[in-house]
Structure 1
Amino acid sequence: MSDIETLRTFDDSLLSARNLATGYGELQVLFDVTVDVRADEVVLVFGPNGAGKSTLMRALIGQLPVWDGSVAVRGHDVSEVPADEMVSNGVGYVPQTENVFPNLTVSENLDIGAIHAADPASRRREIFDLFPRLDERRSQLASTLSGGERQMLAMARALMPNPDVLLIDEPSAGLAPQLVERTFEHVAAVRQTGTAVLMVEQNVTAALEVTDRGYVLDTGENRFEGDADEIRDSDRVRDLYLGRAAPDGG
């Protein structure tokens, strides 16, 4: 288990943030944060309330300006790329809330995601193979779906352009306990298709079942980084964070 003094970095990263600083207005939330996601990895970010987890996601996707440091995809600096152009740089994003269009059908939601797809018809078939339940619900309005199905649709829509890496903010938030495991099975399935995943998640124990590596953020700084087994086996992380990790909204 590494602390901030010996934080590992990876030269073969698909997505990397280096010494990232950002915030809102004059309020700095992230301080010198470094995160790597390599190809085909599932990487978890967790920490206590107010740690800056969602802020990190917004900075990575271009919704917040990078005050200092950098964000790169496949070695290409995207620190100043606006959010609406990140898809063309290979990055998809599933926000925690308002992540589907409720008054559109499942198919229509996928159509919106397909705007940047190279072969929409072929990609739609791949998505329905990945999420058969959505195929069954293709004509239903998203507002009529269950919470788990909506989360599935949000992932599917973000996957339509076949991104290199998918950022997911709190995939299990608001779901019934019996649906949480299924949600993480979907995350694992996404990785199996060749898309790497970076997720913020409050249900750390369940998320670690499909995670390769993880980062702990606290008060906007890296506190720990390690493989899933290292995080799970660390008395310090368990005592300090696993009992209090919760949605932070910021």
Structure 2
Amino acid sequence: MSDAETDIETVRRYEDAVFSARGVETGYGDLQVLYGVDIDVRDDEIVLVFGPNGAGKSTLMRALFKQLPLWDGTIEIDGEDYSHLESNEMVPHGVAYVPQTANVFPNLTVAENLDIGSLHAADPASRREDLFELFPRLEERQSQDAATLSGGERQMLAMARALMPDPDVLLIDEPSAGLAPQLIERTFEHVDQIRQAGTAVLMVEQNVSAALEVTDRAYALDMGENKFEADAETIRDSQRVRDLYLGQ
């Protein structure tokens, strides 16, 4: 067995994480979906969660943002247990979320969407200017209804709205979903720029090969459980990962 294969046999824990999940269990009604999932995100890091359809990836993101109740486990922010928080309390504590769908208000303008995102911003005007530097297309589209934006522009708006409060951690579910191939690379460039600006990112993504280009570490999730965790280079070099998840 190669060193790369050996390195993905365990799920390490990172004591310096800014955001952590320990032993997360949840589901829908009587259906359990997650079985003791662990996740760590360190400061200014992009962490990828990938796996087959039905692995529980989107359920994990909803649970981490407290849109689903924790049946068991904990969520820690800067080492403090915040498992008791409600979903609407996550943003004031430095965690924002971009769901895969219904992530903008289509009947509102770009500017109005950003206004809603600014409710917890310390200096909304300054923050808006920062985000227009990151997403200049949005500045050009300020007066347009979100419903009239292209798929790529709508994804920019969803990320910008979530970033208005300047969170410490951004959770993103499938940022490239539904985008034309030529826009996918640009989307991941934006994710990398978000990290460079000081916000750590936890991202679920089906386009694993493209996401790994900007990812620091990755977790494989399968059947609601952690399968392994490793840095992006190790994941890319693993024949087991290519066979199981990348079709290569």
Q: Are 2:107 and 1:98 equivalent residues in the alignment?
A: no
Q: 1:37 aligns with which of 38, 41, 45?
A: 41
Q: Are 2:203 and 1:195 equivalent residues in the alignment?
A: no
Q: Are 2:63 and 1:59 equivalent residues in the alignment?
A: yes
Q: Please give the TM-score of this superposition, normalised by the length of structure 2.
A: 0.96
Whole-Å Cα distance in 2 between the matches of residues 161 and 235 of structure 1?
A: 41
Q: How many residues align?
A: 242
Q: 1:223 aligns with which of 227, 231, 235?
A: 227
After TM superposition, the structure 1 = structure 2 runs for residues 123-134 of structure 1, keeping only pairs within 5 Å, are 123-134=127-138
Secondary structure, counterpart of 1:184 in structure 2? helix
Whole-Å Cα distance in 2 between the matches of residues 95 and 229 of structure 1?
A: 27
Indicate if the aligned counterparts of 1:33 and 1:222 stay in contact, CA closer than 8 A.
yes
Match of 1:21 in 2: 25
Match of 2:159 in 1: 155
The Cα shift of 1:175 comes to 0.4
Whole-Å Cα distance in 2 between the matches of residues 32 and 157 of structure 1?
A: 31
The Cα shift of 1:163 comes to 0.3
Q: Are 2:143 and 1:142 equivalent residues in the alignment?
A: no
Q: 2:8 aligns with which of 2, 10, 13?
A: 2
Indicate if the aligned counterparts of 1:118 and 1:161 stay in contact, CA closer than 8 A.
yes
- Post-superposition Cα deviations, 1:14-60, rounded to whole Å, max 9, x if no partner, equal 11001111111111110111010000000000000100000100010
4+ residue runs over 4 A deviation: none
Whole-Å Cα distance in 1 between the matches of residues 35 and 246 of structure 2?
A: 22
Q: Please give the TM-score of this superposition, normalised by the length of structure 1.
A: 0.95
Q: Which amino acid aligns with 1:228?
A: A
Indicate if the aligned counterparts of 1:2 and 1:8 stay in contact, CA closer than 8 A.
no
Whole-Å Cα distance in 2 between the matches of residues 220 and 242 of structure 1?
A: 19
Tell me, which stretches of 5 or more residues in structure 2 are unaligned? 1-6
Identity of aligned residues (%): 73
- Post-superposition Cα deviations, 1:100-119, rounded to whole Å, max 9, x if no partner, equal 01111110000000011011
Whole-Å Cα distance in 2 between the matches of residues 112 and 210 of structure 1?
A: 29
Match of 2:3 in 1: none
Tell me, which stretches of 5 or more residues in structure 1 are unaligned? 245-250
Whole-Å Cα distance in 2 between the matches of residues 180 and 126 of structure 1?
A: 23
Q: Are 2:109 and 1:108 equivalent residues in the alignment?
A: no
Whole-Å Cα distance in 1 between the matches of residues 143 and 229 of structure 2?
A: 43
The Cα shift of 1:8 comes to 0.4
The Cα shift of 1:243 comes to 2.6
Q: Are 2:204 and 1:209 equivalent residues in the alignment?
A: no
Match of 1:247 in 2: none
